[in-house]
Amino acid sequence: MKIISLTTLLLTLVFQNCCMSADENSPLLAGTATVDITPAEPIRLNGFGGRRQESQGIRQRLFARALACGRTASDTVIILTVDTLGIPDELSQRVWQNVAQKTQIPRENLAICATHTHSAPMIVGCANTLFGTPIPADHWQRIVAYTAFLEKQLVDAAVSAFRNRQPAVLSWGIGTVGFAENRRTPRGPVDHRLPLLAVHSPDGTLRSVLVSYACHCVTLSDNLVSGDWAGYAAEHLQRLYPSCQPMIAIGCGADANPRGGVLGDRADVADSLGLELAQAVQKTVQAGLQTIAAVPRSTLEHISLKLAPLPDRSEWERRATADNAVGHHARVQLQRLAAGTPLPTEIPVPIQTIRFDDRMAMVFLPGEAVADYSLRLLRELPDQSLWIAAYSNACPGYVPSERVLQEGGYEGGSATVYYDIPGPWAPGLEEQLISAVGRQLIGPSFQTARSSLDTTRTGGTAPLDPQQALQSLQTAPGLIAELVAAEPLIQSPVAVTFGPDGCVWVAEMRDYPQGGPEAGISGTIRRLTDTNGDGQLDHSQVFLDGLPFPTGVTVWRDGLLICAAPDILWAKDHNGDGHADDVVKLWSGFATHNYQARVNSLEYGLDGWLYGSCGLFGGTITCQKTGRVVELGQRDFRCNPDTGVLEPASGSTQQGRVRNDFGDWFGCDNTEPLLHYPLQDHYLRRNPRLAAARTTVSLLAEPQPGRLYPISSQTLFALSGPPGRSTAACGLGIYRDLLEGDAVTGCTLTCEPVNNLVYRQLLTQNGSTFSSRRPESEQQQEFLASRDPWFRPVQARTAPDGAVWIVDMYRFVIEHPIWIPPATLAELDTRAGADRGRIYRIRPKAAELRTVQDLTKLQGTELAAAMGSPNGTVRDLVQQLILWNSDLTAAGALETLLQHTLPAVRLQAASTLACLNRLSEAAAVRLLQDPDPQVRRHAIRLCEPWLPDSTAAATAITALRNDQSQVVRMQLACTAGLLPSAQAGEVLADILGDPDSDSFLLSAAQSSLNSDNILPVLHRLRGSNAAAPHQLLQQAIAITADDSARTLLQDL
């Protein structure tokens, strides 16, 4: 559809008149009308049971507003919004009968919506047991009279709007406003969308706007007549658009209160909320709306919702003894039974929809529907732009979702006593309502996603929809979880990466575990974008499909690197249509025999290389650009996509090789949540005679190493491993930001999908490696855990917004079938959930997220300045852009960053300058004196290009042999092999002769031994009377061959 501005509306209408048949395609007509429904005398107000006196004045006048639109009298629909708590079904029927006598419209063409203000008069048939005591006769008489007055006014408004129809242009849009808050559960589901239908005159004048927002109208609770925030919103819209009739409806907001809650007489707050909504409407209109040319088509059906089994008479009698609302409600039911009137066991409710074209449709639900309904409808009907109003056409009290019904509480059932309903709803009403809407908008063949799932093959469990799943999450204290993306935007996500333009790339393993049920099911790469800047990814496009079990995706230059064993691919979109049209194999030969252990995790190193996980089994790798074959074995690797070079790296990672801000590399495998790789293979292999005793350290947090704390009823099988222990550790992440505070920066996050949790460890330097511990607040709970056994976290990433993003594959079964006994496997749907998937954001409650920049719009000094970010992911992206573009104009700003207050920024700026060949020797030598040991550590590495020729660099590096930092000594041991032999002898002898040097430091030093420096090392050791390690003597014998060496060795 075309996005239009107000200035094009007239041209659109003129074009339609000139080019289309006047009979078949004449302009749409629209009419409006407003009537005053303010009570003329004091009357009981609805909504709050404690107000038992009649109203004491008028704060705002009340209105009913009508919009009639269509092309002819027979297809015209009329929509009413009414400042009242609810609209009884009987009242809706009577209003239509009277309107139909004058307009001939069918019942399905009339919709009546309440604003649900709690400051409007009570009417007959709506919450008449609210007060918990009989209403006095004189009060009731005024309620009956007002109800008749309201009915007449509604008829007048509808008929007047019908008769006032004039040529008009209809359009729609969806904005957002954020003052609704879930009142049942902190951070519970809310619908912040602000859908609107706009009516313009042919000259572009806004004549009416109909909006819906899912929030209770309960800011005001004193005894004055008022429209509450919805009334104030209408007033502000009229000020913004004097010729406009504003119409406010309420969405599925039964479990949402306005910001601040119920505030008595705080009209200033209600006014500010109304202004907030009006300004959001204005912003949406100004952004451009989408035109509607089609005739509205309406459908209305009544469905019967069953009540739970009702109490017997003795139970009613027991309840009736209570002197409260429950007792009054019971006494009313007993009166009916005494009169011979049976109590209803089901209640018919109307479901209505109005479709304007193939995309835009309006949904009218009865009663107080909770947010789960609108959120689920948006998921079940992803191709529809839905305008949803609850509180429409009938008021059967609260309409809970299955989740809320099971949870119980006020909205879940106890509020029925105030609505004169004999009991709570029976399970199943959510499916009935969703199915009814789907049939009306899609057709009789519509099935909900839930109804199509055979739970007999999922252990009797059903998947939760994304908002329900969000509520099942438990975060560590001080954190909150938010939903970033979910189906249908993504399915079976296993890995994400962040683009420098702000988009998110997702690898989807839709074919797991054994391929799809049909040929069209394969792995895909998707691009997700946030089109309106609200932090929610709302647009998805397939970039590449047909992939076998993709396990990783990484941005590289103007394309993507994709891990899809046996290959690593590079894919690019040349023609700009969003789809890859050039796919090249860079490396081939990675193992494919284990679906849970394949090449993955291409991560950017400070040195400009990409490092990757071998998936445990590696392989014999062919470099397609060079033709070289690398026997990788079971080692990780590093590579350069530009040159095609690939070489082994230390470590053997199953799924999730990552680094911290200071270049330390980590991995994991299914039973080892965290592995550290202290040694680097490109140093070790310099000395072919060295066989390092260990290259990997397993880190398990004290005080109970390896203990996990799941909160779900886990789906476990015979070979799943013991509960509460790592059996599927994967998707390792490092938190690389300061948003949560210095204390947790650099912490590790291990996903454990079998245990339905993410496990956090804090690291402390311990010699050449680390020790780990749980945070104090997570001694017996996890960073993130879910009660939903379908929650399958498979990757943790630091996002550019400063939060941790968790990729949830969302499956009933996460184990591969080879690990499930055949008899059990025969009873399972191993692909259940393949069409689902979520990405969550975990962030501190008290911190604002960082603004995500489009870095591709920056260059030179501006781009380099962005490296000053405290976010490691952003710094990596900046470094890559500078290097990919060979942006030498960034060098000056990068040199300035060498003085930045954050050590991680100083280090990455220096590393970028080095990769750009713009780091001067003088600058590198100065960094050897940096106050932070991590910067000094890497300054040694960055000085290597000037060794052994530079006396200044060699002298400054050698002086660091007295540095007390273990990380400095480790790098010194590695770089010493490049020093002049005499200085190398000093450095290496000091390390090799130090009894406090751990095995990793000794291995690093031995990797630096060569034929030039071995004798100076041995001379130094003899002079210091230090004992030479036995392994050193063996290497010396192999390296040296002259008589003086033999003599020296005999002395040692």
CATH number of the domain at 861-1051, please? 1.25.10.10
Q: Could you say which residues of the chain have pLDDT below 70?
A: 1-25, 186-188, 382-383, 449-454, 460, 516-520, 713-723, 1025-1052
Name the nearest CA neighbour of 1008 among 1042, 1037, 983, 1028: 983
Question: How far apart are alpha carbons 786 and 711 in whole angstroms?
Answer: 6
Query: 146: phi > 0 → left, psi -120 to 50 → alpha, else beta; which?
Result: alpha
> Which two tokens mark 693?
């005793």
pLDDT of residue 637: 98
pLDDT of residue 1052: 55
Q: Estimate to the nearest angstrom the gap between the alpha carbon of 505 and the chain centroid.
A: 14
Determine contact, residues 987/940, Cβ cutoff 8 Å.
no
State the sign of the Cα–Cα–Cα–Cα dihedral 455, 526, 470, 808.
Answer: positive
Determine contact, residues 1052/1022, Cβ cutoff 8 Å.
yes
pLDDT of residue 20: 36
Name the nearest CA neighbour of 602 among 585, 589, 614: 614
Q: CB atoms < 10 A from the CB of 269, how many? A: 20
pLDDT of residue 520: 60
Task: For 532-548, write each residue's pLDDT tens digit.
Answer: 777 778 899 999 999 99
CB-based contacts of 800: which residues, under 8 Å, 6+ apart? 498, 502, 850, 852, 853, 871, 873, 874, 877
CATH number of the domain at 474-844, please? 2.120.10.30
How many contiguous H segments (helices) and E segments (strands) does the chain have?
27, 47
Domain boundaries, the chain: 3-310+345-441, 474-844, 861-1051
pLDDT of residue 723: 66
775: preceding bond cis by omega (within 30 degrees) = no
pLDDT of residue 517: 47
39: preceding bond cis by omega (within 30 degrees) = no
> Which two tokens mark 562?
């994709």
Could you say which DSSP state residue 746 is in? T
Question: How far apart are alpha carbons 908 and 878 in whole angstroms?
Answer: 10
Name the nearest CA neighbour of 794 among 669, 592, 655, 600: 655
Residue reference for tokens 């309201």: 150
Q: Which phi and psi (to 5°) does residue 140 adopt?
A: -65, -35
β-pairing verdict for 110-114 and 77-82: parallel
| Enclosing H/E stretch for 1030 | helix 1030-1039
For 895, the 3-state DSSP assignment is helix
pLDDT of residue 789: 86
Q: Estimate to the nearest angstrom the gap between the alpha carbon of 875 and the chain centroid.
A: 22
pLDDT of residue 818: 78
444: preceding bond cis by omega (within 30 degrees) = no
**Exposure on the CB side of residue 195, measured as CA atoms within 13 A:** 19
Q: What is the pTM of this model?
A: 0.63
The 3-state secondary structure of 29-67, one letter per residue:
EEEEEEEECCCCCCCCECCCCCCCCCCCCECCCCEEEEE
